């Protein structure tokens, strides 16, 4: 059985340190999953490619384009998520936030998530715990204990490589459901994961409008 991990990266330039970090984390995670005897498919979502569509979604009352619909379904159906953002003014980028605002509120329920951020200075390192973890906690995702922060000088260092390997191992263990560690003393049962929805399909058990109005006299 092949596991599917989606990598959401919000870098704005080409090349991008954000994408470089995402590539390193994705490669390490793939190695950790395959080392446990499982196949894995890594899928990248480059948010700069849909920046205009995300802006349109926000100003049209939440009407997704066909491409955004595909991305919402892709994320909701993933076995795991790697979320990587550049740091602007001490927090995740607006583009990063717009994408997660565009998801259905149940898209990431119970989903294992690895968070990572790239910045020009180590002074922004608190972005992981003060911005990213609260966001994914609100979305009821299961965030792995080790987050990855990379300042410009960290790239190529053993310290960054060690953190990436540790975080990738934590994500791989959750994705394949081995239960080899717990998050805050809680090891989630992925087989009993709460229902996730992409928000792109109409529920089949919708009550017909006529039934809702049956017996109504027409007065307030």
Query: What are 135-184's pLDDT values in tens digits?
Result: 999 999 999 999 999 999 999 999 999 999 999 999 999 999 844 444 44
150 near 167, Cβ under 8 Å?
Answer: no
- Residue 118 has which token pair? 């790239």
Average model confidence (pLDDT) for the chain? Answer: 88
* pTM (two decimals): 0.82
pLDDT at 123: 87
The per-residue pLDDT for 212 is 66
- What is the domain range of residue 168? 2-213
What pLDDT score does 204 carry? Answer: 54
Q: What is the pLDDT of residues 58-101, one digit of tens each?
A: 999 999 999 999 999 999 999 999 999 999 998 999 999 999 99
Query: Does residue 192 fall inside a structural domain?
Result: yes
Question: According to the model, what pLDDT value does residue 182 have?
Answer: 44
Q: 50 falls in which pLDDT band (50, 70, 90)?
A: very high
DSSP one-letter code for 216: -
Q: What phi and psi, each to the nearest 5 degrees, are found at residue 78?
A: -75, 150
C-alpha closest to that of 104 among 198, 8, 193: 198
Residue 215 pLDDT > 70: no
Residue 218 lies in a domain: no
pLDDT at 213 > cutoff 80: no
DSSP string, 127-138: HIIIIIHHHHHH
Query: Is residue 46 assigned to a domain?
Result: yes
What single DSSP character describes residue 102? S
CB contact at 8 A, 172 and 37: no
Report the pLDDT value the prediction gives residue 187, as an integer from 0 to 100. 47
What's the domain count of the chain? 1
Please indicate, yes or no, if residue 196 is contained in any of the structural domains. yes
- Kindly state whether residue 220 falls inside one of the protein's structural domains: no
Report the C-alpha gap between 141 and 119 in whole angstroms.
Answer: 24
The CATH number linked to 38 is 3.40.50.360
Give kind and range of the element (H or E) at residue 52.
helix 51-59
């Amino acid at each position: 059985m092949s596991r599917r991990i989606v990598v959401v990266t919000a870098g704005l330039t080409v090349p991008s340190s954000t994408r470089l970090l995402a590539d390193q984390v994705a490669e390490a995670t793939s190695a950790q999953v395959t080392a446990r005897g499982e196949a894995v498919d890594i899928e990248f979502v480059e948010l700069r490619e849909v920046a205009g569509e995300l802006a349109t979604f926000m100003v049209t009352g939440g009407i997704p384009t066909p491409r955004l619909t595909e991305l919402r379904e892709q994320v909701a159906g993933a076995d795991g998520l790697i979320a990587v953002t550049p740091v602007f003014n001490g927090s995740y980028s607006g583009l990063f936030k717009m994408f997660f605002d565009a998801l259905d509120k149940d898209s990431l329920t119970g989903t294992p998530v690895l968070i990572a951020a790239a910045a020009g200075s180590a002074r922004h390192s608190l972005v992981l715990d003060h911005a990213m973890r609260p966001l994914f906690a609100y979305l009821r995702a299961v965030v792995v204990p080790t987050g990855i922060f990379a300042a410009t000088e960290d790239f190529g260092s053993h310290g960054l490589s060690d953190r990436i390997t540790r975080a990738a191992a934590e994500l791989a263990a959750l994705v394949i459901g081995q239960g080899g560690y717990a998050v805050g003393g809680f090891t989630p049962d992925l087989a009993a994961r709460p229902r996730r929805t992409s928000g792109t399909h109409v529920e089949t058990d919708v009550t017909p409008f006529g039934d809702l109005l049956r017996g109504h006299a027409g007065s307030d």
